[in-house]
Structure 1
Amino acid sequence: MHIPDGFIPYWQCAIYYVILIIALYFASRWARNNLDEKRIPLMAVLAAGIFAIMSMNLPIPFGTSGHMVGGTLVAIVFLAPEAAILVFTVVLLIQALLFGDGGITALGANVLNMAIIGGGVGLLTFKGLKNFIGKYPAIGIGAWLATFISAEFCAIEMIIAGKFPLIIGLTSMGILHAFIGIIEAVLTVIVIYVLEKYRPDLLAWNRKRKSNELVI
């Protein structure tokens, strides 16, 4: 799902960078109001885990790759897609600079796909379904759907850039990430279950209400 440098034109990169800058503005405001001495280490641990799972890439024709994401995990743990934006901006920047995985010019697009879309879709799905099917089934569905939709958005961006044929691009990304999404759903449920069992104080929905924070 990482888009490398040179795969999308600069005008398209500029649009995604504008989206990234706006997203980081709101994410930084969220961080000032919500991160504390417990949540900052948790975010760092999640970032390290996401770095690891995203390093396990499967090649996809025409130049991109398939892998697990983790946007839903971060967004649900903190009940905020802003957390995913911060984590993925740092992780993707390090991967691009040090390991050549993804690209600097494509950073905005990659954060859009994995954090803004991935985290947002996963969190909204979780919130929309948890009262009907239960918390953990909603987490699993949210993680799967976020992985699949993020991959399809990546394919659409590559199609607009002229790098993917329409049908092959959507099909290749969709089928592979539909299977990857199953693994991601299971891992997301396991991680959140373990956190709730052993460190429930780290989950946003178990924290006491603050004046600027919603608790579900």
Structure 2
Amino acid sequence: MHIPDGFIPLWQCAIYYVILIIALYFAGKWAKANLDEKRIPLLAVLAAGIFAIMSMNMPIPFGTSGHMVGGALVAIVFMAPEAAVLVFTAVLLIQALFFGDGGITALGANVFNMAIVGGCVGLYTYKGLNGIIGKYPSIFLGAWLATLVAAVVCALEMAIAGTFPLSVGVASMALYHAFIGLIEGVLTVIVIFALEKYRPDLLAWNRE
């Protein structure tokens, strides 16, 4: 799902960077109001875990990759997509600069897909379904859907840029990530279950 340099024209990259700057502004305001000495280490631990799971790439035709994401996990744990924006901006920047995974020019697009789209889809799917099907099924579906939708949005962006065939590209990304999302859903449930059992004070819904 990482978009490399050169896959999106610079003028389109600039649009995604504007979105990123706006998102970082609101994420900074959220961090100032909500992060404390207990929750900053949790954010760092989740960032390290996300760095690890995103490093396990599955090649996808036409030059991109499939992998677990973690946007839903961060957004649900903190009940804020702003937390995902902070985590993914840092993680994706490090990956692009030092590991050649994703591009600097495409950083805005990659953060948009994985943090903003993934975080919002995961969090609001959880919120919408929690009262209907229960906490953990809604967490699972939120994480699965976040991975799938973020991948499809990524494919659409590259199709608009002219570097990815629309129908085959979207189908490939959707198929791979529909499977990957199942694994991500299970891992998201496991992590949140463990936090709720051993450190419930760190979960946002226990602090409201």
Deviations 1:179-213 (A, max 9, x none): 00000000000000000000101100111xxxxxx
Match of 1:90 in 2: 90
Find the counterpart in structure 1 of residue 44 from structure 2.
Answer: 44
* Residue in structure 1 matched with residue 162 of structure 2 by the alignment: 162
Superposed displacement of residue 164, structure 1:
1.1
Which amino acid in 2 is paired with 1:49?
A: G
| Paired position in structure 2 for 1:200 | 200
Q: Tell me, in whole angstroms, the C-alpha distance in 1 between the residues paired with 2:92 and 2:24.
A: 14
Superposition deviation, residue 166 in structure 1: 1.1
1:141-197 CA-to-partner distances (Å, cap 9, x unmatched) read 000000000000000001011111111101000000000000000000000000000
Aligned equivalents of 2:185 and 2:51: distance in 1?
17
Matches for 1:69-108 after TM superposition, within 5 Å: 69-108=69-108
Deviates more, 1:141-150 or 1:159-168: 159-168
CA deviation profile, 1:19-71 (whole Å, cap 9, x unmatched): 00000000000000000000000000000000000000001111110000000
Tell me which residue corresponds to 2:63: 63
RMSD: 0.4
Tell me the TM-score normalized by structure 1.
Answer: 0.96
Q: Does 1:127 align with 2:127?
A: yes
Could you report, residue by residue, the CA deviation over 1:84-143 in whole angstroms, capped at 9, with x for unpaired residues? Answer: 000000000000000000000000000000000000000000000000100000000000
Task: Using the TM superposition, give the Cα deviation of residue 75 of structure 1 relative to its aligned residue in structure 2, in angstroms.
Answer: 0.2
What TM-score do the two structures reach when normalised by structure 2? 0.99
| Residue aligning to 1:177 | 177
The 3-state SS of whatever aligns with 1:68 is coil
Structure 1, unaligned runs of 5 or more: 208-214
Q: Kindly report which structure 2 residues correspond to 1:116-155, keeping only aligned pairs within 5 A, or say none.
A: 116-155=116-155
- Equivalent in the alignment of 1:210: none
Aligned counterparts of 1:153 and 1:39: Cα–Cα separation in 2: 30
CA distance, structure 2, for counterparts of residue 166 and residue 28 of structure 1: 35
**Shift >6 Å, 4+ stretches:** none
Instruction: State, as a whole percentage, how many aligned pairs show the same letter.
Output: 79
What is the SS of the residue equivalent to 1:59?
Answer: strand
Counterpart CA distance in 2 for 1:171 and 1:182 is 17
Alpha-carbon separation, structure 1, partners of 2:93 and 2:41: 19
- Hey, what's the Cα distance between the residues in 2 that align with 1:52 and 1:19? 26
Give secondary structure in 2 for the equivalent of 1:65: strand
1:33 aligns with 2:33: yes
